[in-house]
Amino acid sequence: MKKRFRLRQRWSVTILIIALMLFTVPVLMMGRRASGVPPSRTTVPGAPQRIVAIADVHGAYEEFLGILQRVGLIDAGHKWAGGATIFVQVGDVPDRGPETRKALDLLMELEREAPAQGGKVIPLLGNHEVMQMIGDTRYITPADFQSFATGQSEQVRDLAYQDYRKFIAASRAIHDVPDDEDAHQRWLARHPLGFFEERDAYARTVCTDAGCAPTTRSLSWATRSSCTRGSTPGCISAPSTS
């Protein structure tokens, strides 16, 4: 009798294990398949619209791409794949890193593409965007300036230097105008190729609750250059990096 009882116990345990396996394996497989689907595609009808927020890109373009792909907002071709997702970029795309322009270009392209799928891209201004707008360039990398350079950048910079000298001559006694190669080289070091193109990309208009007004884009090369060095009254200048 004891042997029969033990045999029944073993069979009962075996049957229970088999039953659990038959139940859990399909569930696990379904979960595994679901995990391979981008989050943006696993929406439930009637559920709240999905919101994704990303901040502090700081010119790290490749890392930015990786995050966007990971959360299902872009496909392998870097096109919008987020469906009706709302993507909020919480500011601080520029500065520190080497590929700010590529990150901004991608963000603007996604902003144009998202509405076709019912999605939306909302870019916000962080303190680094504002710093760029007011001419605070202390965190811009040389690679960022270079990314804005064109085949005409040498000519643009030469003309800017001539305008700068004229501006200084008009506002100071003529003997105070630097006229040596050392001064010229120092000016060139402060204004690498792509500097003025990068400044133009940001210095379009400033909008407040009182309306929009032109910023340094409407000024001459010399005045803009002087603004960034803090030598023109009324200009918001960048703090010294020394």
Question: Catalytic amino acids?
Answer: 128
3-state helix, strand, coil in the chain (%, to 5): 55, 10, 35
Helices (H) and strands (E) in the chain, counts: 9, 5
Distance CA 230, CA 212 (A): 23
Dist CA 19 CA 173 (whole Å) = 96
- The structure tokens listed for 36 are 């391979």
**C-alpha Rg value of the chain to the nearest Å:** 30
The amino acid occupying position 161 is Y
CA distance 183 to 188: 9
Total Cβ atoms within 10 A of residue 135: 20
AA letter at 195: F
